[in-house]
Structure 1
């Protein structure tokens, strides 16, 4: 009885796995089929972005990360927070203690009045985290056409294509192409929204944050701050905020793989040594 129950249970799980595989294959094969819509026809997949941190041997470019932080501070921080990044983390970008304290003090963070106990704001400290520019989500929605700007700490992990998505979205604003309105006369960009070919439904509440070349002034020795360059730099910076230990993790991974390879070779030779005296005995018995 127990054996029969075990067989039936195994069959049930086997059928469930086969059904899931078949259903997934069907969905993958038919996804995107059906009636054409403006979103399906004119939405463009994010373009590949070549960053120094790409690939298994990639590393962060400190100068680029500093430029990306500058773009975030001067442009993106007006609407977006970095709630998982502390000011002291900027030391990883090459800033010294004095610079970090100055950067922290340039932001206002939530605090408490020691005299009255009431909520207030104060200049940031190195141990504080980057604050939200809005006191709450209601205020954020009211200031952005009822759309709450997302926190950018993990945005390159939270979006498919990560860094490439951020770069493409920032550079994908334009007027709706004539072909779109000709093919889909009912398509419109409502007031308060903006057309962006890299946004899934083509209309996004965020206004173009990088609208002009030179919007952010880079120091000497840096590339020209074109829209594309600024978008690339801030995408690199947000790649770092999402995983500041990226390079260290890869280095640790190579060390672990090397150890596993060494241990495997060592185990093989140990096995050969242990069974070396046994094999001749087995061979002799087989001859007898």
Structure 2
């Protein structure tokens, strides 16, 4: 790596300064009970109140149950969506008859928000746990599916032609050419799907959960514990950011031929 490629101290410091600026603005608006007409901070807790609430949650035995429930639901729904989305995306992107058969019903279901599936999922699954996992699955499925399809469509036809001229058979082309070339788009879909997993999980837990970060956030609102609401929101953000970062690192490790920025 060249010296010019190494991040400078200013670049490393900039994200921290950005976060500190956001916290400072939050403190200023909440401490002065700022009222902007359309937006008011009269009931918004200050950062120190949220910090106290976060410390109380860290000491509470309920934290492990909330975290364990949410993480298990996200992981289950995401893995199912990844298997189905990548598998269907590769088949739809590669085979015309699969695309003509499956894309019409998938295109009808795709615009339906995951929240709208909640009543039906409650009817379909005997347990609330199954319905919440299903909601996370639906939320993550379509970003993974569509990005995989676009990745397959974006494979250079010359690579496929070259492989065929060298005697590579159909499954060899699929495994050695199409899948590696589409992998960056698949990773993008997985990253987006992970984010939508958390979004959909929180919504499902607010309605059907007894434990979980979403349930904790909604319960805090119902009892008017406003500091805990922000604790739950920040915890969701940190978990979502951390899971996406882990996924990105894993993708980079599995794709040594690809560098961020679209350069292979």
- Answer with 1 or 2: which has the greater Rg: 1
Q: Same fold (TM over 0.5)?
A: no
**TM-score, normalising length: structure 1:** 0.23
More strand by share: 1
